[in-house]
Structure 1
Amino acid sequence: MKFYDFALSVLRLFCRVFFKYEVIGIENVPLEGNVIIAANHKSNLDPIFVASSMTTREVAAVAKKELFDHKILGFILKKLNTIPIDRENTGISTVKQILRAIKDGYVLGLFPEGTRVKGKEFGQAKAGLSLFASKGKANVVPISVISSYKLFSRVKIYIGEPIDMSQYFRAKLTNEDHERISEEVMQVIIKNYCEQADGIVDVEGIKYNA
Protein backbone atom coordinates (compact mmCIF):
# COMPACT_ATOMS: atom_id res chain seq x y z
CA MET A 1 0.00 0.00 0.00
CA LYS A 2 1.43 3.37 -0.99
CA PHE A 3 1.59 6.26 1.47
CA TYR A 4 -1.34 8.14 -0.10
CA ASP A 5 -3.73 5.20 0.36
CA PHE A 6 -2.48 4.54 3.89
CA ALA A 7 -2.87 8.20 4.90
CA LEU A 8 -6.37 8.42 3.46
CA SER A 9 -7.43 5.26 5.31
CA VAL A 10 -6.23 6.86 8.56
CA LEU A 11 -8.09 10.10 7.81
CA ARG A 12 -11.29 8.20 7.03
CA LEU A 13 -11.00 6.31 10.28
CA PHE A 14 -10.56 9.63 12.10
CA CYS A 15 -13.72 10.98 10.46
CA ARG A 16 -15.79 7.92 11.35
CA VAL A 17 -14.57 7.70 14.95
CA PHE A 18 -14.81 11.34 15.96
CA PHE A 19 -17.74 12.55 13.82
CA LYS A 20 -21.04 11.34 12.41
CA TYR A 21 -19.54 11.52 8.96
CA GLU A 22 -21.56 11.03 5.78
CA VAL A 23 -20.87 11.57 2.11
CA ILE A 24 -23.65 12.18 -0.37
CA GLY A 25 -23.14 12.25 -4.13
CA ILE A 26 -19.79 10.53 -4.68
CA GLU A 27 -21.25 9.26 -7.96
CA ASN A 28 -21.10 12.87 -9.20
CA VAL A 29 -17.30 12.72 -9.37
CA PRO A 30 -16.48 11.49 -12.90
CA LEU A 31 -14.32 8.38 -12.95
CA GLU A 32 -12.20 9.82 -15.75
CA GLY A 33 -11.46 13.13 -17.43
CA ASN A 34 -10.18 16.44 -16.10
CA VAL A 35 -11.92 17.40 -12.86
CA ILE A 36 -11.61 20.05 -10.16
CA ILE A 37 -13.40 19.70 -6.84
CA ALA A 38 -14.23 23.01 -5.17
CA ALA A 39 -15.45 23.31 -1.57
CA ASN A 40 -16.29 25.94 1.04
CA HIS A 41 -13.70 26.43 3.79
CA LYS A 42 -14.59 27.15 7.44
CA SER A 43 -12.18 24.98 9.41
CA ASN A 44 -8.75 23.36 9.31
CA LEU A 45 -10.68 20.08 9.29
CA ASP A 46 -12.13 20.76 5.84
CA PRO A 47 -9.15 19.32 3.89
CA ILE A 48 -9.46 16.11 5.93
CA PHE A 49 -13.22 15.89 5.41
CA VAL A 50 -13.00 16.54 1.66
CA ALA A 51 -10.02 14.25 1.04
CA SER A 52 -11.72 11.45 2.97
CA SER A 53 -14.79 11.72 0.76
CA MET A 54 -12.84 11.03 -2.44
CA THR A 55 -12.99 7.25 -2.63
CA THR A 56 -13.01 6.88 -6.42
CA ARG A 57 -10.07 9.04 -7.58
CA GLU A 58 -6.78 10.34 -6.26
CA VAL A 59 -6.65 14.02 -5.36
CA ALA A 60 -3.91 16.61 -5.77
CA ALA A 61 -4.81 19.51 -3.49
CA VAL A 62 -3.60 23.11 -3.46
CA ALA A 63 -2.51 24.54 -0.09
CA LYS A 64 -0.85 27.73 1.12
CA LYS A 65 2.93 27.51 0.92
CA GLU A 66 3.37 28.45 4.59
CA LEU A 67 2.23 24.96 5.59
CA PHE A 68 5.34 23.54 3.94
CA ASP A 69 7.61 25.52 6.28
CA HIS A 70 7.09 22.77 8.87
CA LYS A 71 9.41 19.92 7.86
CA ILE A 72 7.26 17.00 8.99
CA LEU A 73 3.98 18.50 7.77
CA GLY A 74 5.63 19.58 4.52
CA PHE A 75 6.92 16.05 3.94
CA ILE A 76 3.45 14.57 4.52
CA LEU A 77 1.77 17.13 2.28
CA LYS A 78 4.15 16.36 -0.57
CA LYS A 79 3.46 12.64 -0.19
CA LEU A 80 -0.25 13.50 -0.46
CA ASN A 81 0.26 15.23 -3.83
CA THR A 82 -0.28 18.68 -2.26
CA ILE A 83 0.89 21.64 -4.32
CA PRO A 84 2.15 24.72 -2.44
CA ILE A 85 0.80 28.06 -3.62
CA ASP A 86 1.59 31.67 -2.77
CA ARG A 87 -1.87 33.14 -2.32
CA GLU A 88 -0.61 36.67 -2.88
CA ASN A 89 1.56 36.02 -5.93
CA THR A 90 0.97 32.78 -7.80
CA GLY A 91 3.95 32.21 -10.08
CA ILE A 92 3.81 30.68 -13.55
CA SER A 93 5.72 27.62 -12.33
CA THR A 94 2.98 26.90 -9.77
CA VAL A 95 0.29 27.30 -12.42
CA LYS A 96 2.14 24.84 -14.67
CA GLN A 97 2.48 22.37 -11.80
CA ILE A 98 -1.25 22.56 -11.09
CA LEU A 99 -2.17 22.12 -14.76
CA ARG A 100 0.23 19.19 -15.01
CA ALA A 101 -1.52 17.50 -12.08
CA ILE A 102 -4.86 17.82 -13.88
CA LYS A 103 -3.34 16.47 -17.10
CA ASP A 104 -1.81 13.54 -15.21
CA GLY A 105 -5.26 12.41 -14.09
CA TYR A 106 -5.44 13.75 -10.56
CA VAL A 107 -8.61 15.43 -9.32
CA LEU A 108 -7.53 18.93 -8.35
CA GLY A 109 -8.81 20.02 -4.93
CA LEU A 110 -9.41 23.72 -4.30
CA PHE A 111 -11.05 26.03 -1.79
CA PRO A 112 -12.24 28.90 -4.03
CA GLU A 113 -12.41 31.38 -1.13
CA GLY A 114 -8.66 31.00 -0.68
CA THR A 115 -8.80 31.02 3.11
CA ARG A 116 -11.06 30.02 6.00
CA VAL A 117 -14.26 32.02 6.44
CA LYS A 118 -15.89 31.13 9.74
CA GLY A 119 -19.48 31.45 10.92
CA LYS A 120 -22.33 32.14 8.54
CA GLU A 121 -20.24 34.19 6.14
CA PHE A 122 -18.76 32.98 2.85
CA GLY A 123 -15.85 34.63 1.11
CA GLN A 124 -15.62 35.92 -2.42
CA ALA A 125 -14.24 33.26 -4.75
CA LYS A 126 -10.80 33.94 -6.19
CA ALA A 127 -10.02 33.91 -9.91
CA GLY A 128 -7.85 30.79 -9.64
CA LEU A 129 -10.68 28.26 -9.83
CA SER A 130 -11.87 29.53 -13.22
CA LEU A 131 -8.29 29.97 -14.46
CA PHE A 132 -7.32 26.37 -13.66
CA ALA A 133 -10.60 25.01 -15.02
CA SER A 134 -10.31 26.85 -18.33
CA LYS A 135 -6.58 26.26 -18.85
CA GLY A 136 -6.81 22.68 -17.61
CA LYS A 137 -9.96 21.97 -19.63
CA ALA A 138 -11.59 20.64 -16.48
CA ASN A 139 -15.17 20.55 -15.29
CA VAL A 140 -15.88 21.53 -11.68
CA VAL A 141 -17.61 19.44 -9.03
CA PRO A 142 -19.01 21.66 -6.23
CA ILE A 143 -18.70 20.30 -2.69
CA SER A 144 -20.46 21.67 0.37
CA VAL A 145 -18.87 20.84 3.72
CA ILE A 146 -21.61 21.16 6.33
CA SER A 147 -20.60 20.86 9.99
CA SER A 148 -20.48 22.58 13.35
CA TYR A 149 -17.01 21.01 13.72
CA LYS A 150 -17.77 19.85 17.25
CA LEU A 151 -16.55 16.39 18.22
CA PHE A 152 -19.09 13.64 17.55
CA SER A 153 -21.38 16.01 15.67
CA ARG A 154 -22.70 15.41 12.15
CA VAL A 155 -20.55 16.16 9.16
CA LYS A 156 -22.22 16.09 5.76
CA ILE A 157 -20.13 16.22 2.59
CA TYR A 158 -22.56 17.04 -0.19
CA ILE A 159 -21.08 16.51 -3.65
CA GLY A 160 -23.11 18.31 -6.28
CA GLU A 161 -23.49 17.59 -9.97
CA PRO A 162 -20.52 18.53 -12.19
CA ILE A 163 -20.57 22.01 -13.68
CA ASP A 164 -19.77 22.01 -17.39
CA MET A 165 -16.97 24.53 -18.01
CA SER A 166 -16.33 23.65 -21.66
CA GLN A 167 -17.64 27.00 -22.91
CA TYR A 168 -14.58 28.63 -21.32
CA PHE A 169 -11.89 26.25 -22.59
CA ARG A 170 -11.09 28.33 -25.69
CA ALA A 171 -12.39 31.69 -24.50
CA LYS A 172 -10.15 34.70 -23.90
CA LEU A 173 -10.94 35.58 -20.32
CA THR A 174 -9.86 38.54 -18.22
CA ASN A 175 -9.14 38.35 -14.51
CA GLU A 176 -12.57 39.88 -13.91
CA ASP A 177 -14.12 37.11 -16.01
CA HIS A 178 -12.31 34.48 -13.95
CA GLU A 179 -13.51 36.06 -10.70
CA ARG A 180 -17.10 36.15 -11.98
CA ILE A 181 -17.03 32.52 -13.15
CA SER A 182 -15.42 31.35 -9.91
CA GLU A 183 -18.06 33.20 -7.92
CA GLU A 184 -20.82 31.52 -9.93
CA VAL A 185 -19.44 28.16 -8.80
CA MET A 186 -19.19 29.45 -5.23
CA GLN A 187 -22.86 30.38 -5.33
CA VAL A 188 -23.72 26.78 -6.23
CA ILE A 189 -21.66 25.59 -3.25
CA ILE A 190 -23.50 28.00 -0.94
CA LYS A 191 -26.91 27.07 -2.38
CA ASN A 192 -26.24 23.36 -1.80
CA TYR A 193 -24.89 24.14 1.67
CA CYS A 194 -28.12 25.87 2.66
CA GLU A 195 -30.39 23.27 1.09
CA GLN A 196 -28.53 20.36 2.68
CA ALA A 197 -27.90 21.88 6.14
CA ASP A 198 -30.73 19.73 7.49
CA GLY A 199 -30.44 20.88 11.11
CA ILE A 200 -26.66 20.49 11.17
CA VAL A 201 -26.01 24.23 11.11
CA ASP A 202 -28.20 27.32 11.24
CA VAL A 203 -28.46 28.80 7.75
CA GLU A 204 -31.03 31.48 8.52
CA GLY A 205 -29.95 34.74 6.93
CA ILE A 206 -27.44 33.20 4.51
CA LYS A 207 -28.08 34.56 1.04
CA TYR A 208 -27.07 33.21 -2.34
CA ASN A 209 -27.90 33.74 -5.98
CA ALA A 210 -30.40 31.08 -6.98
Structure 2
Amino acid sequence: MNLYPLGRTICNFILFPIYQFKVIGKENVPADGGVLLCCNHINNFDPEVIGITSPRPIHFMAKEELFSVPILGKILPHINAFPVKRGFSDRGALRKGLDVLNAGNVLGLFPEGTRSKTGELGKGLAGAGFFALRSNAHIVPCAIIGPYKPFKRLKVVYGKPISMDEYRQNKASAEQVTEVIMNEIKQLILAHK
Protein backbone atom coordinates (compact mmCIF):
# COMPACT_ATOMS: atom_id res chain seq x y z
CA MET A 1 0.00 0.00 0.00
CA ASN A 2 1.47 3.37 -1.04
CA LEU A 3 1.19 5.88 1.82
CA TYR A 4 3.15 8.62 0.02
CA PRO A 5 0.10 10.83 -0.82
CA LEU A 6 -1.15 10.57 2.78
CA GLY A 7 2.32 11.28 4.20
CA ARG A 8 2.68 14.27 1.91
CA THR A 9 -0.68 15.69 3.00
CA ILE A 10 0.14 15.25 6.70
CA CYS A 11 3.62 16.81 6.34
CA ASN A 12 2.21 19.72 4.34
CA PHE A 13 -0.46 20.34 6.99
CA ILE A 14 2.14 20.34 9.80
CA LEU A 15 5.19 21.96 8.17
CA PHE A 16 3.76 24.61 5.83
CA PRO A 17 2.28 26.85 8.57
CA ILE A 18 5.53 26.63 10.57
CA TYR A 19 8.04 27.28 7.77
CA GLN A 20 5.91 29.10 5.14
CA PHE A 21 7.87 27.75 2.19
CA LYS A 22 8.72 29.91 -0.78
CA VAL A 23 9.20 27.52 -3.71
CA ILE A 24 11.17 28.76 -6.71
CA GLY A 25 11.73 26.96 -10.03
CA LYS A 26 9.29 24.08 -9.58
CA GLU A 27 8.81 24.19 -13.37
CA ASN A 28 12.45 23.03 -13.74
CA VAL A 29 11.49 19.52 -12.60
CA PRO A 30 10.61 17.64 -15.83
CA ALA A 31 7.02 16.36 -15.85
CA ASP A 32 8.06 12.87 -16.93
CA GLY A 33 11.07 10.60 -17.28
CA GLY A 34 13.68 9.77 -14.68
CA VAL A 35 14.89 12.66 -12.53
CA LEU A 36 17.87 12.70 -10.16
CA LEU A 37 17.04 15.46 -7.68
CA CYS A 38 20.20 16.50 -5.77
CA CYS A 39 19.80 18.76 -2.75
CA ASN A 40 21.90 20.19 0.08
CA HIS A 41 21.20 18.74 3.54
CA ILE A 42 20.79 21.11 6.49
CA ASN A 43 18.02 19.60 8.63
CA ASN A 44 16.28 16.31 9.47
CA PHE A 45 13.13 17.72 7.84
CA ASP A 46 14.82 18.12 4.41
CA PRO A 47 13.29 14.94 2.88
CA GLU A 48 9.81 15.98 3.99
CA VAL A 49 10.31 19.53 2.70
CA ILE A 50 11.46 18.29 -0.71
CA GLY A 51 8.68 15.70 -0.70
CA ILE A 52 5.94 18.30 -0.26
CA THR A 53 7.37 21.00 -2.53
CA SER A 54 8.35 18.80 -5.49
CA PRO A 55 5.73 18.55 -8.25
CA ARG A 56 6.38 14.78 -8.46
CA PRO A 57 6.62 11.97 -5.89
CA ILE A 58 10.18 11.24 -4.80
CA HIS A 59 11.94 8.00 -3.90
CA PHE A 60 14.59 8.44 -1.20
CA MET A 61 17.52 6.41 0.03
CA ALA A 62 17.39 6.33 3.82
CA LYS A 63 20.10 5.14 6.18
CA GLU A 64 19.63 1.46 6.94
CA GLU A 65 19.37 2.07 10.71
CA LEU A 66 16.02 3.85 10.27
CA PHE A 67 14.43 0.63 9.00
CA SER A 68 15.03 -0.97 12.46
CA VAL A 69 13.17 1.81 14.31
CA PRO A 70 9.80 0.50 15.57
CA ILE A 71 6.82 1.72 13.51
CA LEU A 72 8.98 4.03 11.32
CA GLY A 73 10.79 1.01 9.85
CA LYS A 74 7.45 -0.45 8.75
CA ILE A 75 6.23 2.83 7.23
CA LEU A 76 9.38 3.80 5.24
CA PRO A 77 8.95 1.25 2.39
CA HIS A 78 5.37 2.53 1.90
CA ILE A 79 6.52 6.14 1.42
CA ASN A 80 9.02 5.39 -1.38
CA ALA A 81 12.09 4.97 0.86
CA PHE A 82 14.67 2.20 0.55
CA PRO A 83 17.69 1.41 2.75
CA VAL A 84 21.30 2.25 2.09
CA LYS A 85 24.31 1.14 4.13
CA ARG A 86 26.38 4.22 4.79
CA GLY A 87 30.15 4.32 4.87
CA PHE A 88 30.86 2.00 1.93
CA SER A 89 29.57 1.15 -1.52
CA ASP A 90 26.15 -0.51 -1.17
CA ARG A 91 25.64 -2.28 -4.52
CA GLY A 92 22.06 -3.23 -3.70
CA ALA A 93 21.09 0.39 -2.99
CA LEU A 94 22.91 1.57 -6.15
CA ARG A 95 20.98 -0.98 -8.24
CA LYS A 96 17.70 0.02 -6.61
CA GLY A 97 18.43 3.71 -7.29
CA LEU A 98 19.14 2.98 -10.96
CA ASP A 99 15.90 0.94 -11.17
CA VAL A 100 13.96 3.94 -9.81
CA LEU A 101 15.49 6.25 -12.44
CA ASN A 102 15.17 3.79 -15.32
CA ALA A 103 11.48 3.30 -14.46
CA GLY A 104 10.99 7.04 -15.09
CA ASN A 105 10.67 8.05 -11.43
CA VAL A 106 12.33 10.73 -9.27
CA LEU A 107 15.24 9.76 -7.03
CA GLY A 108 16.00 12.30 -4.30
CA LEU A 109 19.61 12.42 -3.08
CA PHE A 110 21.52 14.45 -0.55
CA PRO A 111 24.99 14.11 -2.11
CA GLU A 112 26.75 15.22 1.10
CA GLY A 113 25.54 11.94 2.62
CA THR A 114 24.82 13.52 5.99
CA ARG A 115 23.48 16.74 7.45
CA SER A 116 25.75 19.78 7.49
CA LYS A 117 26.38 20.76 11.13
CA THR A 118 27.19 24.35 10.14
CA GLY A 119 24.55 24.88 7.44
CA GLU A 120 27.37 25.35 4.91
CA LEU A 121 27.45 23.17 1.82
CA GLY A 122 29.78 20.20 2.32
CA LYS A 123 31.63 17.97 -0.12
CA GLY A 124 29.47 15.66 -2.23
CA LEU A 125 30.02 11.91 -2.38
CA ALA A 126 30.53 10.05 -5.66
CA GLY A 127 27.05 8.42 -5.56
CA ALA A 128 25.38 11.42 -7.21
CA GLY A 129 27.85 11.31 -10.10
CA PHE A 130 27.40 7.54 -10.40
CA PHE A 131 23.63 7.87 -10.86
CA ALA A 132 24.02 10.85 -13.20
CA LEU A 133 26.43 8.99 -15.50
CA ARG A 134 24.82 5.54 -15.37
CA SER A 135 21.24 6.61 -16.12
CA ASN A 136 19.52 8.79 -18.70
CA ALA A 137 17.79 10.77 -15.95
CA HIS A 138 17.46 14.55 -15.92
CA ILE A 139 19.79 15.93 -13.22
CA VAL A 140 18.05 18.67 -11.22
CA PRO A 141 19.95 20.61 -8.54
CA CYS A 142 17.96 21.83 -5.55
CA ALA A 143 18.73 24.07 -2.58
CA ILE A 144 16.98 24.46 0.75
CA ILE A 145 17.88 27.87 2.11
CA GLY A 146 17.21 28.24 5.81
CA PRO A 147 17.57 28.50 8.65
CA TYR A 148 14.73 26.35 9.90
CA LYS A 149 13.11 28.79 12.32
CA PRO A 150 9.41 28.68 13.17
CA PHE A 151 7.36 31.27 11.27
CA LYS A 152 10.35 32.36 9.18
CA ARG A 153 10.19 31.79 5.44
CA LEU A 154 12.18 28.80 4.17
CA LYS A 155 13.19 28.85 0.50
CA VAL A 156 13.26 25.76 -1.70
CA VAL A 157 14.88 26.39 -5.09
CA TYR A 158 14.82 23.95 -8.01
CA GLY A 159 17.47 24.70 -10.62
CA LYS A 160 17.50 23.98 -14.34
CA PRO A 161 18.48 20.42 -15.35
CA ILE A 162 22.22 19.86 -15.89
CA SER A 163 23.16 18.22 -19.21
CA MET A 164 25.45 15.21 -18.85
CA ASP A 165 26.31 14.89 -22.57
CA GLU A 166 29.69 16.64 -22.36
CA TYR A 167 30.71 14.71 -19.22
CA ARG A 168 29.80 11.36 -20.77
CA GLN A 169 31.71 12.18 -23.97
CA ASN A 170 34.77 13.21 -21.97
CA LYS A 171 34.48 10.08 -19.79
CA ALA A 172 34.29 12.17 -16.62
CA SER A 173 34.51 10.33 -13.31
CA ALA A 174 31.64 10.07 -10.83
CA GLU A 175 33.62 12.34 -8.48
CA GLN A 176 34.01 15.03 -11.18
CA VAL A 177 30.30 14.95 -12.00
CA THR A 178 29.36 15.14 -8.32
CA GLU A 179 31.54 18.26 -8.08
CA VAL A 180 29.64 19.82 -11.00
CA ILE A 181 26.31 19.04 -9.31
CA MET A 182 27.50 20.45 -5.96
CA ASN A 183 28.67 23.63 -7.70
CA GLU A 184 25.19 24.07 -9.24
CA ILE A 185 23.63 23.67 -5.77
CA LYS A 186 26.11 26.25 -4.42
CA GLN A 187 25.15 28.71 -7.18
CA LEU A 188 21.45 28.32 -6.28
CA ILE A 189 22.23 29.04 -2.62
CA LEU A 190 24.30 32.13 -3.50
CA ALA A 191 21.68 33.45 -5.92
CA HIS A 192 18.76 33.12 -3.52
CA LYS A 193 20.18 33.82 -0.04
Fold shared per TM-score above 0.5 = yes
Q: 1:66 deviation in Å?
A: 1.4
Following superposition, the deviation at residue 68 of structure 1 comes to: 1.2
Aligned to 2:25: 25
Q: Distance in 2 between matches of 1:7 and 1:147?
A: 23
Q: Does 1:15 find its partner at 2:11?
A: no
The aligned counterpart of 1:38 is 38
Alpha-carbon offset, residue 156 of structure 1? 0.5
2:30 and 2:133 map into 1 onto residues whose CA distance is 17
Runs of at least 4 residues of structure 1 off by over 4 A? 168-173
Pair 1:170–1:91, CA change in 2 (3 A): farther
Per-residue deviation at 1:179?
A: 1.3
Give the % identical residues.
35
Contact 2:129 2:174 in 1 (8 A): yes
Quote the Cα distance in structure 1 between the aligned partners of 2:92 and 2:41: 25
Q: RMSD value over aligned CA atoms?
A: 1.8
Q: Secondary structure of the residue that 2:80 maps to in structure 1?
A: coil
Alignment gaps of 5+ in structure 2 = none
Taking CA–CA contacts closer than 8 Å with sequence separation of 6 or more, which of the two structures ends up with the larger relative contact order? 2
What does the per-residue CA deviation read over 1:157-204, in whole Å, with 9 as the maximum and x for residues that have no partner?
A: 01111111234457755xxx211210111111111112101xxxxxxx
- Residues 25 and 160, structure 1, Cα contact 8 Å, conserved in 2: yes
Query: Aligned pair 1:183/2:183, yes or no?
Result: no
Distance in structure 1 (CA, Å) of the matches to 2:170 and 2:33: 20
Secondary structure at the counterpart of residue 60 of structure 1:
strand
Shifted more, 86-95 versus 101-110: the winner is 86-95
Contact 1:138–1:165 (CA under 8 A) maintained in structure 2: no
- Report 1:50-129 matches (<5 A): 50-55=50-55, 57-129=56-128
What is the rounded CA distance, in whole Å, between the counterparts of 1:192 and 1:91 in structure 2?
30
Q: Which amino acid aligns with 1:5?
A: P
Kept in 2: contact 1:37–1:110 (CA 8 A): yes
Name the counterpart of 2:191: 195
Q: d(CA) in 2 for partners of 1:106 and 1:191?
A: 26
Kept in 2: contact 1:134–1:170 (CA 8 A):
no
**Contact 2:34/2:100 (<8 A) preserved:** no
For residues 167 and 66 of structure 1, what CA distance do their matches in structure 2 show? 38
Unmatched runs of 5 consecutive residues or more in structure 1: 198-210
* TM-score between the two structures when normalised by the length of structure 2: 0.92
Find the aligned partners of 2:70 and 2:135 in 1 and give their Cα distance: 30
1:105-143 superposed Cα distances (whole Å, 9 cap, x missing partner): 220000011101132422111000010111122221010
Counterpart in the other structure of 1:165: 164
